Structure 1
Amino acid sequence: MHWWSNDGVRLHARDYPGDPGAVPLLCVPGLTRNARDYAAFAERWSGARRVIAVDLRGRGESGYAKDAMSYVPLTYVQDLEALLAEQGIGRFAMIGTSLGGIVTMLLARPARGRLAGALINDVGPEIEAGGLSRIRGYVGKASSWPTWLHAARAVEEANRDVYPDWGLQDWLAMAKRLYRVNTAGRVVLDYDMRIAEPFRVPGAETGPDMWSALAGLSGVPVAVVRGERSDLLGEKTAQRMMAALPEAELVTVPRVGHAPTLAEPEAEAAVGRLLDRIDRG
């Protein structure tokens, strides 16, 4: 489905139908990712409930922004509020990976009373310097490949420490989530390279006060999923998040870095427990 942002960008989401009486899930992907990241997740959890996986502006099938400085979390929050209003969605829950988790935290206070629960996947109010440096090192750098196999090998080279147990089919599947085929027949990254521009402004990658934003999730069911090998969400930050949200659950996915796919047994079980808590009200 499509909707329009306040500044005239045509935005896209994949809408997986489900029981209209159940709390729907709004799924928000990471910085360079898109709605395809949630395809397997949506197939697993839709039916019992509606699942909406969004393409943030500048990604996937969403339009590119005229102003590159609109590629910031607070604008993404406004885009999602426009989606919720257009769809007439009252109560909902959020699944946010990396940047999507930041957006989830920032939306918590504006959506107070409507947000039924949230899963924050491998991100926190503080981002580890090493992980942030790694992201700055690759975001906005175009690459193209003649075949999907070439793209998969490039993805493997960049991420083998994140998913040390993956095989070729896993890398091919990830490449097809990250890349698209352009009009010249080349396999290219599926996002606007200008999303890197706000990263030149210190703090633009998150929000003004992320610990205050996290506190907006108090009183609702929350799960925090962390990759054991994550370089973005440190163990100390994760424990501080638990102290800030005493009723939240922290789940660590072994032998995975940034970020868990949410198909891992530990993560899938955490999703199930979170949804049970949400459905119990």
Structure 2
Amino acid sequence: MLLPTCAKGDIVTNGISFQEHRFSSSDGLQLYARDYGHADPQTAASLPIVCLPGLSRNSRDFHRLAMQLSTQPQRPRRVIALDYRGRGSSDWDTDKSRYQLPVEAQDVLSACENLGIAKAIFIGTSRGGLILHFLAAMRPALLAGAALNDIGPVIEIAGLLQIRHYLQAQQPLQSFEQAIESLKKTHSAAFPALDDDDWADMAQAIFREKDGVITADFDPALIEPLKSIDADTQVPDLWALYQGFQTMPLMVIRGENSNILSEATVLEMGKRHPGVKVVTAAGQGHAPLLHRPDLLTDMTAFIDGIS
């Protein structure tokens, strides 16, 4: 979907603008971010929000959430959404070994430095939540609070295997209508709560038109580390890094049908952080769409409870 541009590099969609930013990583890649609410003087009075997407996803995943949070009447927020290296409008890395969590965490720090973010509330979906575990250890003062969307210190191997399967199975398509049908075929059993607009938005976020075909918008090399795992693979846990969240407000969203974040892990997260706010995304799997009305209410309450 092509969006009209306006002055100063802003993009306007549905009457709401965001600014596009391109900046350099510490090792010289050109990375991309969307900046919502930057032009509203009211947003300067509140903490900004930084949104971190999943493994193969990008800033477009957060478009509807960012529009909602940046225009809410009583307390609009500045919302930043990032494309990591190898995703969306950011450069692909020629050194594929650098597609790893500590490097991507450093890229988030570079983004915050370039965009003037000294402290923010962070939302991390899936891999974005894993990156937040690293940031909580690397730069705890940057995080005023964190929301982990369907991710925690323990990742279920069955979920990783399913992610590998559907990412490897994605083939170029002829239209976005085909992309929507492909997503429904793969994910509808885990996401009965989604409506037609949600599926259309998901397709626009995941896929991009390139050379006349619709393709997934990420470097295929991202899948390589998943190719070596099997049902017996022991995935290292991140409980030691999870301790970094002890000093800040924490929210955990679990998809009711998630196969990545188990109920047992969420229970243990609550024991180790007694103040954690736990929310179940009814009728959603991995990973929940946060702009849905039930989750938006909980997200807004959590965010406004911080500052």
Fold match, TM over 0.5? yes
- Which runs of no fewer than 5 residues in structure 2 stay unpaired? 1-20, 230-234
**1:24 aligned to 2:51?**
no
Aligned residues: 276
Tell me how far apart the structure 2 counterparts of residues 265 and 242 of structure 1 sit (CA, whole Å).
25
Give the 5 Å matches for 1:209-228.
210-228=238-256
Aligned residue identity for 1:147: S
**1:9 aligned to 2:19?**
no
Verify the 8 A CA contact 2:136 2:241 in the aligned structure 1: yes
Tell me how far apart the structure 1 counterparts of residues 122 and 66 of structure 2 sit (CA, whole Å).
13
Counterpart residue number, 1:250:
278
- SS of 1:109's equivalent in the other structure is helix
Counterpart residue number, 2:15:
none
Equivalent residue for 2:175, pick from 147, 151, 158: 147
> Which segment is superposed worse, 186-195 or 171-180?
171-180
Cα offset, 1:273, TM superposition: 2.0
Counterpart residue number, 2:219:
192
> Which segment is superposed worse, 128-137 or 58-67?
128-137
Deviations 1:240-275 (A, max 9, x none): 111111111101111211111112333212212211
Tell me how far apart the structure 1 counterparts of residues 168 and 110 of structure 2 sit (CA, whole Å).
27
Query: Aligned pair in 2 of structure 1 residues 200, 7: CA closer, same or farther (>3 Å)?
Result: farther
Equivalent residue for 1:79, pick from 107, 130, 140: 107
Counterpart residue number, 1:55:
83
Verify the 8 A CA contact 2:193 2:282 in the aligned structure 1: no
TM (normalized to structure 1)? 0.92
- SS of 1:217's equivalent in the other structure is helix
Give the 5 Å matches for 1:76-225.
76-183=104-211, 185-200=212-227, 210-225=238-253
Tell me how far apart the structure 1 counterparts of residues 194 and 101 of structure 2 sit (CA, whole Å).
31
Aligned residue identity for 2:271: A
Verify the 8 A CA contact 2:150 2:255 in the aligned structure 1: yes
Verify the 8 A CA contact 1:142 1:193 in the aligned structure 2: no
Tell me how far apart the structure 2 counterparts of residues 78 and 64 of structure 1 sit (CA, whole Å).
16
Counterpart residue number, 2:58:
34
- Which runs of no fewer than 5 residues in structure 1 stay unpaired? none
Cα offset, 1:42, TM superposition: 0.5
TM (normalized to structure 2)? 0.85
Tell me how far apart the structure 2 counterparts of residues 262 and 58 of structure 1 sit (CA, whole Å).
23
Verify the 8 A CA contact 1:57 1:63 in the aligned structure 2: yes
- SS of 1:278's equivalent in the other structure is coil
Counterpart residue number, 2:297:
269
Tell me how far apart the structure 2 counterparts of residues 201 and 111 of structure 1 sit (CA, whole Å).
32
Tell me how far apart the structure 1 counterparts of residues 288 and 222 of structure 2 sit (CA, whole Å).
23
Verify the 8 A CA contact 1:71 1:198 in the aligned structure 2: no
- Root mean square deviation of aligned Cα: 1.9
Deviations 1:185-209 (A, max 9, x none): 111111111111233466xxxx965
Deviations 1:15-42 (A, max 9, x none): 1125123111110011111100000010
Percent of matched pairs sharing the same residue: 35
Tell me how far apart the structure 2 counterparts of residues 170 and 22 of structure 1 sit (CA, whole Å).
29
Aligned residue identity for 2:259: D
Tell me how far apart the structure 1 counterparts of residues 143 and 281 of structure 2 sit (CA, whole Å).
25
Tell me how far apart the structure 1 counterparts of residues 194 and 52 of structure 2 sit (CA, whole Å).
24
Deviations 1:68-106 (A, max 9, x none): 111111111010111112223211110000011111111
- SS of 2:208's equivalent in the other structure is strand
Cα offset, 1:6, TM superposition: 1.6
Tell me how far apart the structure 2 counterparts of residues 224 and 167 of structure 1 sit (CA, whole Å).
24
Verify the 8 A CA contact 2:166 2:186 in the aligned structure 1: no
Verify the 8 A CA contact 1:252 1:266 in the aligned structure 2: no
